[in-house]
C-alpha cells in the first residue's frame, strides 16, 4: 500500500492551500474530492455552455502590497491568475426600498459619497468608518504578535478591538449612527457573513467591510480560475489529486489518525490527515463520536451553522447594460430594517409571497468580460433561508422527485419576480434558469445543513471560541471556513495556518513570493488598457459562439 505523508479531505480553498504548502515542503500529499471537479465552493460549472460559480462573487485586498495579493503571490499562483477590477465608482449598489446608494472603492470616497446622501451624519460617518478600519487593522495584528513583549503590549496596541470585541454589530452601530437608511447601507454586507446586525460579531463585520474598502475584484474564469491556479501549483510540486473519491471514514487507532477509508472500500494510509470538511462532518461523520472527548461532543451539539442559500443561475438574451447593470454587485432590500428582513428570509414557509424580501444579484459576464459570448449574459441571484425550509426533502429520492421539482419551480418564479423588478421584461429573454438549493449545497459541497459560511460567525463561535486547526486527535487537522475565517481569502489563510502548525513553522515561513510572481489586474469597465491577448480571447469566444448558433 502506498503511504502518504498527508491526505487532505476536500479540495476547497483551505484544503488546496494546505496541500500546496505541504507539497512545496517536500511532503507526499494526496487530495481527495468527493465531487467530480475540485474546488468546493470555489468551483465553476457550465450549464448549456454558460459558466457559473456558486461561491465566489468578489474578492478584496488585491492591490500591490495588500494581503490577498501577498497571499496568492506567496503561494506561487499569482502568475496563473487574472482579475478584473469591478466598477470603482460602485462595486456595491444598494437598492433599499426606492433608494439607490452606491458604495465606491476607497474609504475617503465612501465617506464623501455617504456624506452627500446623509449630510446630518457627517461627523458620525467619519467616526464610525474610522472605527471599523481600526478594529479590522487591530484584529489582523493579533495573530502576528509573538513573544513576551508583544503579549504584554496587546491591550495598548489594540484598544478599539478590546473595547468593542464583545459587542454585536447592532449595538455598536446604534451608538454611532442614527439614520435607519444609513445603517442599512453600512450593514448591507451582512450578507457576506450571513448574520443580521443584532447577532453579528462587530469585529467580524469590520473585517468584511475593510476587506472591500479599496474595491472589489472578480477572477477571470470565476472561482474555477482560482482553483485551476491552485491545482496547477500543487501538481507542480508533485501533489496528487483524486476527484469522485468520497471519504467514508478517517481511520483512528489509539486516538491517532493514520489514514482514510474511501466509500469504495479502499484504505489509504498517511502520517497526517487534514479535513477541509466542516467540524460536524469531520468529527461526527468521518471520525465518529466514539473517538472524541465528551467536551468536543458537547461543543458540536451546541454549534450552529450559517445560513443556507437559494441561488438562481440565470442566462438572459438581452443587453443588461442598457437596463442599468454594470460590473458592480447589487444588494436589493425591501426596506432598511435588515434585522427584520433576515427574520422574513428565514421563515420556514418560503413559498409565501411573490418575491423574496432581499437578494444579492451580480452579472458574471460583466464582472468577467472574457466570459461574454457577445449575446448572452449570466446572472446569479442569491437569497438566504433556513435549512428547515427544505426539511420535507430529507432523502435522495425526496429531492429528485416531482414534488421537489414543483417546489423548486415555485421558488424560481419568486426569484424571477425579483429580477423582473430590476430588469423589466427580463422574463421574455430567459434562456435558462436553474436553481441551486440547500440540497444542492449538501450534495456537491457536503456542507452540514447546506451552510454557506461554515459555522455561524457569532461572538461565541469565533476567535478563541471557534474550532482550532489542530484537533484533539493526534495527526488530525482541520482547515476551512469553520476555523480561522470564512470567504475565499479567509479559507485560504486557514489552510496556510494548518500547514504551519503541521510543519512547526510560522505562516510567514510558508509564503515565498519571489520576484517572479506578478498578479494581473484589468479594469472590467474600461477595455482600453487590456492587453492584446485578452482582446483576442474575447473575440475568439464571440466568433465560436456565432459559429455554434
pLDDT of residue 148: 46
- The band of 157, judged by pLDDT with boundaries at 50, 70 and 90, is low
Question: Quick check: 285 and 300 in contact, CB under 8 A?
Answer: no
Cα 439 from Cα 434, distance rounded (Å): 14
To the question of domain 3-83+220-303+459-510 being in CATH 3.50.50.60, the answer is yes
Region of poorest pLDDT, from 53-67, 135-149, 353-367 = 135-149
Residue 324: which H helix or E strand, with range?
none
Identify the pLDDT of residue 330. Answer: 98
Q: How far apart are CA 247 and CA 268, in angstroms?
A: 10
Q: What distance in Å separates the CA atoms of residue 191 and residue 216, rounded to the nearest whole number?
A: 15
Q: How far apart are the C-alpha atoms of 344 and 326, rounded to whole Å?
A: 29
Q: Which residues are CB-neighbours of 149 under 8 A, at least 6 positions away?
A: none
Q: What is the separation of C-alpha 420 from the centre of its chain, rounded to a whole number of angstroms?
A: 27
Q: What is the pLDDT of residue 88?
A: 98
* pLDDT value of position 344: 86
The residue-averaged pLDDT of 166-193 equals 97
Q: Does 395 have pLDDT greater than 80?
A: no
pTM of structure: 0.94
Reported as half-sphere exposure (CB side, CA atoms, 13 A), residue 530 has a value of: 22
Place of cell 456565432: 546
Whether 270 has a pLDDT exceeding 90, the answer reads yes
- For 106, phi then psi, to 5°, come to 100, 130
The Cα 164–Cα 149 span in angstroms is 23
**CA pair distance 14, 493, nearest whole angstrom:** 7
What does the pLDDT average to over 110-128? 98
Neighbouring CB atoms inside 10 A of 243's CB total 14
| Residue in 494, 470, 476 with CA at minimum distance from that of residue 484 | 494
Write out the H or E segment, with its range, that includes residue 3. strand 3-9
The CA distances from residue 549 to 429, 434, 541, 545, in Å, are 16, 22, 13, 6
DSSP 3-state assignment of 393?
coil
Collapse the DSSP code of 345 into the 3-class scheme (helix H, G, I; strand E, B; otherwise coil) and give the result. helix
Nearest to 306 by CA among 159, 484, 433, 486: 486
pLDDT at 243 over 80: yes
Flag whether pLDDT at 154 surpasses 70.
no
Q: What sign for the dihedral angle of Cα 273, 277, 281, 285?
A: negative
Average pLDDT, the chain: 93
Confidence of residue 242 (pLDDT cuts 50, 70, 90): very high
**Residue 190, pLDDT above cutoff 60:** yes
Nearest Cα to Cα of residue 351 among 406, 428, 426, 424: 406
CA distance 253 to 474: 10
C-beta separation of 168 from 458 below 8 A: no
Please say if the pLDDT value at position 329 is more than 80.
Answer: yes
- Strands across the sheet containing 430-436: 99-103, 92-96, 329-333, 358-363, 377-385, 308-316, 430-436
Looking at the chain, how many residues does it have? 549
Q: Check residue 346 and give its pLDDT.
A: 78
Backbone angles phi, psi at 132, to 5 degrees: -60, -45
Q: Assess contact for 191 and 361: CB atoms under 8 A.
A: no
Task: Provide the pLDDT for residue 149.
Answer: 47
Instruction: Read off the pLDDT of each residue in 172-178 and give the average, rounded to a whole number.
Output: 97
Residues 531-542: what's their mean pLDDT? Answer: 96
Mean pLDDT in residue range 12-22: 98
* Choice among 126-140, 203-217, 261-275, 519-533 with the minimum mean pLDDT: 126-140
Q: Are 342 and 196 in contact (CB under 8 A)?
A: yes
d(CA 266, CA 399): 29
DSSP codes joined into one string, 100-132: EEEE-SSHHHHHHHHHHH-GGGHHHHHHHHHHH
Predicted pLDDT at 143: 60
**Proportion of the chain above pLDDT 70, given as a percent:** 95
Instruction: Assess whether pLDDT exceeds 60 at residue 399.
Output: yes
287-314 confidence digits (pLDDT tens): 999 999 999 999 999 999 999 999 999 9
Res 147 pLDDT > 90: no
Say what the alpha-carbon torsion angle 268, 269, 272, 274 is, to the nearest 10 degrees.
10
Mean pLDDT, residues 266-283 taken together: 98
Q: Which residue has the higher pLDDT, 147 or 291?
A: 291
Enclosing H/E stretch for 249: strand 247-253
Give dist(CA 251, CA 269) in Å, integer.
Answer: 8
CA 386, 387, 388, 392 torsion: positive or negative?
Answer: positive
Cα(254)–Cα(528) distance, integer angstroms:
63
Out of 143-157, 178-192, 530-544, pick the least confident: 143-157
Cα 89 to chain centroid distance, Å, stands at: 23
Above 90 in pLDDT, residue 253?
Answer: yes
Rounded CA gap, 164 and 166, in Å? 6
Q: Of 279, 326, 296, 299, which Cα lies nearest the Cα of 481?
A: 279
- Judge whether 187 and 173 are in contact, CB under 8 Å: yes
How much is the pLDDT for 471?
Answer: 97
The cell 520576484 sits on which residue? 515
C-alpha triplet 452, 458, 464: angle, nearest 5° = 110
Reported as a single tens digit per residue, the pLDDT across 83-96 is 999 999 999 999 99
Share of the chain above pLDDT 90, in %: 86
Instruction: Report d(CA 408, CA 403) in Å as an integer.
Output: 9
The three-state secondary structure class of 520 is: strand
Amino acid at each position: 500500500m502506498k503511504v502518504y505523508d498527508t491526505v487532505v479531505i476536500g479540495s476547497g480553498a483551505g484544503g488546496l492551500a494546505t496541500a500546496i504548502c505541504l507539497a512545496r515542503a517536500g511532503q507526499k500529499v494526496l487530495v481527495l474530492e468527493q465531487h467530480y471537479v475540485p474546488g468546493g465552493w470555489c468551483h465553476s460549472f457550465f450549464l448549456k455552455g454558460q459558466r457559473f460559480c456558486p461561491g465566489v462573487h468578489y474578492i478584496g485586498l488585491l492591490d500591490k502590497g495588500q494581503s490577498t495579493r501577498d497571499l496568492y503571490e506567496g503561494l506561487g499562483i499569482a502568475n496563473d491568475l487574472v482579475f478584473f477590477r469591478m466598477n470603482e465608482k460602485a462595486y456595491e449598489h444598494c437598492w433599499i426600498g426606492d433608494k439607490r446608494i452606491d458604495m465606491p472603492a476607497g474609504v475617503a470616497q465612501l465617506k464623501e459619497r455617504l456624506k452627500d446622501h446623509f449630510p446630518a451624519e457627517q461627523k458620525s460617518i467619519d467616526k464610525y468608518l474610522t472605527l471599523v478600519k481600526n478594529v479590522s487593522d487591530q484584529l489582523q495584528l493579533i495573530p502576528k504578535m509573538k513573544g513576551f513583549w508583544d503579549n504584554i503590549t496587546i491591550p495598548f496596541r489594540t484598544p478599539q478591538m478590546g473595547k468593542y470585541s464583545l459587542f454585536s454589530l447592532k449595538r455598536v452601530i446604534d451608538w454611532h449612527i442614527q439614520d435607519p437608511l444609513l445603517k442599512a447601507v453600512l450593514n448591507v454586507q451582512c450578507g457576506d457573513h450571513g448574520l443580521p446586525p443584532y447577532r453579528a460579531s462587530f469585529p467580524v463585520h469590520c473585517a468584511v467591510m475593510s476587506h472591500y474598502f479599496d474595491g472589489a475584484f472578480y477572477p477571470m474564469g470565476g472561482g474555477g480560475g482560482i482553483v485551476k491556479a491552485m491545482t496547477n501549483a500543487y501538481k507542480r510540486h508533485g501533489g496528487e489529486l483524486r476527484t469522485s473519491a468520497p471519504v467514508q471514514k478517517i481511520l483512528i487507532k489509539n486516538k491517532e489518525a493514520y489514514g482514510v477509508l474511501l466509500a469504495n472500500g479502499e484504505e489509504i494510509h498517511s502520517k497526517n490527515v487534514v479535513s477541509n470538511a466542516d467540524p460536524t462532518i469531520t468529527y461526527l461523520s468521518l471520525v465518529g463520536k466514539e473517538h472524541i472527548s465528551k467536551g468536543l461532543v458537547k461543543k458540536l451539539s451546541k454549534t450552529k451553522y450559517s445560513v443556507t442559500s437559494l441561488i438562481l443561475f440565470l442566462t438572459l438574451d438581452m443587453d443588461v447594460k442598457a437596463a442599468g447593470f454594470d460590473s458592480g454587485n447589487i444588494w436589493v432590500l425591501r426596506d432598511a430594517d435588515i434585522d427584520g428582513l433576515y427574520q422574513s428570509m428565514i421563515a420556514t414557509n418560503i413559498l409565501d409571497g411573490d418575491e423574496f424580501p432581499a437578494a444579492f444579484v451580480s452579472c458574471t459576464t460583466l464582472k468577467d468580460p472574457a466570459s461574454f459570448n457577445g449575446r448572452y449574459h449570466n446572472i446569479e441571484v442569491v437569497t438566504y433561508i433556513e435549512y428547515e425550509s427544505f426539511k420535507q426533502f430529507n432523502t435522495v429520492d425526496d429531492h429528485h422527485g416531482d414534488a421537489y421539482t414543483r417546489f423548486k419551480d415555485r421558488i424560481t418564479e419568486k426569484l424571477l419576480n425579483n429580477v423582473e423588478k430590476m430588469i423589466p421584461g427580463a422574463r421574455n429573454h430567459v434562456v435558462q434558469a436553474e436553481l441551486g438549493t440547500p440540497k444542492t449545497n449538501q450534495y456537491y459541497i457536503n456542507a452540514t445543513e447546506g451552510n454557506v459560511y461554515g459555522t455561524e460567525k457569532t461572538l461565541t463561535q469565533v476567535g478563541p471560541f471557534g474550532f482550532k486547526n489542530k484537533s484533539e486527535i493526534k495527526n488530525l487537522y482541520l482547515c476551512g471556513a469553520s476555523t480561522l475565517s470564512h470567504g475565499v481569502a479567509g479559507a485560504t489563510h486557514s489552510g496556510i495556518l494548518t500547514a504551519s502548525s503541521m510543519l512547526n513553522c510560522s505562516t510567514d515561513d510558508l509564503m515565498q513570493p519571489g520576484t517572479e510572481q506578478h498578479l494581473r489586474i484589468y479594469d472590467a469597465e474600461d477595455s482600453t488598457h487590456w492587453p492584446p491577448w485578452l482582446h483576442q480571447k474575447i473575440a475568439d469566444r464571440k466568433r465560436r459562439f456565432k459559429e455554434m448558433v
